Each structure stands twice: as structure tokens, then as C-alpha cells.
Amino acid sequence: MSYRVTLLPGDGIGPDVVSAMRACVDATGVAIDWEEQIVGAPAIVKFGTPLPPQAIESVRKNRVAIKGPIETPVGKGFRSVNVQLRQELDLYACVRPAKYIPGTKAVHQNVDLMIFRENTEDLYMGIEFDGGTPEAAQVIDAVNGVSEKKIRPDAAVGIKPISVLGSERIIRYAFEYAVRNGRRKVSLVHKANIMKFTDGTFLHTGRRIAEEYAGRVAFEDVIVDNMCMQLVQRPDHYDVLVLTNLYGDIISDLCAGLVGGLGIAPGANIGSQAALFEPVHGSAPKYAGLNKVNPTATILSAVMMLEHLGEREAAQRLEAAVRAVIRDGKEVTYDLKADRNDPTAVGTKEMAAAICRRLRV
């Protein structure tokens, strides 16, 4: 039997890391029928949009996809394709493991965190009104009419919706993961001391759900700024983290930094209709097409995909091969070398080839 999976190479370094990942997955022997769809910068050239409808349809139909990063121009142009995909397919759970791999330049070795970031709400919904527009003026008037605090008339305004439904499903997802995988504690991260209603909704929902799991999984809540410091000083204190969208984005990069950088941090976006796997890192345009960057994050995202498909044995073999190549430290990309200018660093393709060879051993 073969699995049909939508393949979205993306842009920037996306095509480099995605083709490296594809070679490794094919080398596991799991039969995958890759359905490639163009998204990002090349799709703008070809179809006039970075997210053509056929790409979304393909993910909807196949229910499983893996993608490379896609550039989002800052402050202008198209909306983030990544955010759009998550919203259109209601991929509400962003799952990002941060686990130490021997051989990396990790700040800490005792890190094994699972991060669950809410993916559809919060300031990331993109409900924003630019300062000086009639729409912003209307929103400011409406808010000033009901709030004691007055927004300045020239302000740009963003809206932060946090619903009970949105909070409940991601928090439950984190608890269910903890139960299934024998994890000891869920830490809910918030700033409800300041944002009493938005973050407050997330916190109160978490406290309510935690009661259902009492005696099986411990629960605590931690204020986000304190969490940043705690994670840097004693990451071993934490296990499963559940966060709203913006904090989840920031904290997952922080955790990627703790275990050796963006080059090795995988991720998944899961909903009831589809699952989309992708590295945490972005499109690093300055390295595009240079066969230079680390393919590990995308290959480990494929490990998560294989697990999702029920191919646990292949997933374990692929993860072991990645770990073996990194532990050896020879055939690895520049970012995994002690000196980033080490001339013995290999390219993206060569590191993937070393992983494929390990798989065959």
C-alpha cells in the first residue's frame, strides 16, 4: 500500500530541505506517492497567488502534507501562506518537540519538551487595522465608546480573540498527548495577570480541563516572561507546554535555540481534517539554492509524519539514522560544526545522503 502525501517545497531554502527529506523518507522503504504542489514565490510567478486553490484542495483530499518554509514579506504584500493554510484547514494544534540530540551545540542537554501552540486564534488571526484608515477610526471609536482607556486616534489596532472552544481543544490535545505518552506534567503559559479576559479565558479553561486529568497528569500555570527565564535556566523542570498562538511561536523558537538551533527543530500542524508537517525555521532567503542549510528539521518533521501515518518502525529508524549522523559529526552541515566556517561541513544533499546510508546499515 502506498500513502498519497501532498508535497509543498515552498521557497527560499524550502526546495533544498524538502528534496533532502524526500530522499530520506523514500530510503525508509515506506511507499509514498508524493503529490507536489507549487506554493510561495514560484506560485506567485506562475499563478499570481502564493497559495493556489489546487494546493489547498490537494491537502484537503490527501489529509497529509509536508512543506518547506515560505517567505512572508514584512508589513506588505501577501498574507502569510503559512498562517492562511493553518486557518483554512483549521489546523488548530501546532506541535513542536524540542529534544536534545547528542552532537549538537545545545545550551542544555537535559531538554525533552513537547510544545503545543494554539494555531488559529490570538493576534495571529491577522485582524488588524492600519493607523489613519477609516476602518481603524471606526474600531477606535467603538472601543473608546465602551472602554475607560482611550486609544490614540492615529493608532494601528490589532484584535486578540481567545475563545473557550479554541482554548479547550488545544489544551485537551496537550493533555491527551501527555496521557498517551506517559508525560508527567502540563504547563500552561499565559499573561493573565495583565490580559485578564483573553489570556484569562485560556487559563480558566486550562484549570477546568486539568481537573479531568487530576491524578494522571500534573498541571501548573506559568506567566510567559517568567517561563522564558525558567526555560533558559532549568528546562528539565518542564515537560509538556501549552500556549496561545503568539507565545507559542516565540517560546518554540526559544526552545529550538536551547537544543541546538532552528536547523534541527521539527513541527506539525494538526486538525480534524488534515495534518501538515513542517520545520520550525523560515525560508532563510540568503541561503536559497546554495545546498548549504541543515535538512534535519524537515527530516524530523517527516519522522513525525511517518508516526502519524502509523509507520512507527520506519519513523524510529529514520530518527535513529539522523541521530547517528549528527553524533558522528562528520557529514553534517556548517551549523552543526563547532566552527561554522569549518571547511569539512557538507551540503544539504550530502548530509541527507549520509542519513540514507545509515538507514541501510
Q: Which is nearer to ligand NAD, 170 or 284 (CB)?
A: 284
Q: Which is nearer to ligand NAD, 17 or 321 (CB)?
A: 17
Judged by CB under 6 A, the chain residues 76 through 135 that form the site for ligand NAD are 82
- Cell (9 digits) for 205: 479553561
Out of 191, 253, 334, 335, which one is annotated catalytic? 191
Nearest-angstrom CA–CA distance, 176 and 210:
11
Instruction: Please tell me the count of residues contacting ligand NAD according to CB under 6 A.
Output: 17
Nearest-approach distance from CB 181 to ligand NAD, in angstroms: 25
Amino acid at 298: T
Out of 11, 199, 221, 249, which one is annotated catalytic? 249
First to last CA, the chain: 24
Which of residues 8, 32, 71, 175 is near ligand NAD by CB under 6 A?
71
Nearest-angstrom CA–CA distance, 312 and 180:
15
Query: Is 199 in the active site?
Result: no
CA atoms within 13 A on the CB side of 70: 24
* DSSP H or E run through 91: none
- Do residues 329 and 294 make contact, with C-beta atoms less than 8 angstroms apart? no
Judged by CB under 6 A, the chain residues 227 through 286 that form the site for ligand NAD are 262-263, 278, 281-284
Nearest-approach distance from CB 266 to ligand NAD, in angstroms: 11
Please enumerate in sequence order all residues whose Cβ is within 8 A of that of 131, keeping only pairs 6 or more positions apart, or say none.
Answer: 154, 155, 156, 157
Nearest-approach distance from CB 344 to ligand NAD, in angstroms: 16
Out of 124, 177, 238, 334, which one is annotated catalytic? 124
Nearest-approach distance from CB 294 to ligand NAD, in angstroms: 3
Nearest-angstrom CA–CA distance, 86 and 100:
27
Q: Which stretch binds ligand NAD (CB under 6 A): 48-56, 65-73, 157-165, 300-308?
A: 65-73
Query: Is 225 in the active site?
Result: yes
Which of residues 9, 69, 248, 266 is near ligand NAD by CB under 6 A?
69
Buried b (16+ CB within 10 A) or exposed e, 282-296: bbbeebbeebbbbbb
Here's the x/- map for ligand NAD, 281-320, by CB under 6 A: it reads as xxxx--------xx--x-----------------------
- Do residues 219 and 165 make contact, with C-beta atoms less than 8 angstroms apart? no
Query: Under DSSP, is residue 104 helix (H, G, I), strand (E, B) or coil?
Result: coil
Q: Which is nearer to ligand NAD, 56 or 70 (CB)?
A: 70
Nearest-angstrom CA–CA distance, 43 and 60:
19
Q: Which is nearer to ligand NAD, 166 or 260 (CB)?
A: 260
Nearest-approach distance from CB 335 to ligand NAD, in angstroms: 4
Nearest-angstrom CA–CA distance, 253 and 240:
15
Out of 26, 225, 328, 342, which one is annotated catalytic? 225
Query: Is 150 in the active site?
Result: no
Residue from 8, 7, 91, 300 nearest 83 by CA: 91
Report, as residue numbers or ranges, the catalytic residues. 124, 191, 225, 249
Return residues touching ligand NAD (CB under 6 A). 17, 69-72, 82, 262-263, 278, 281-284, 293-294, 297, 335
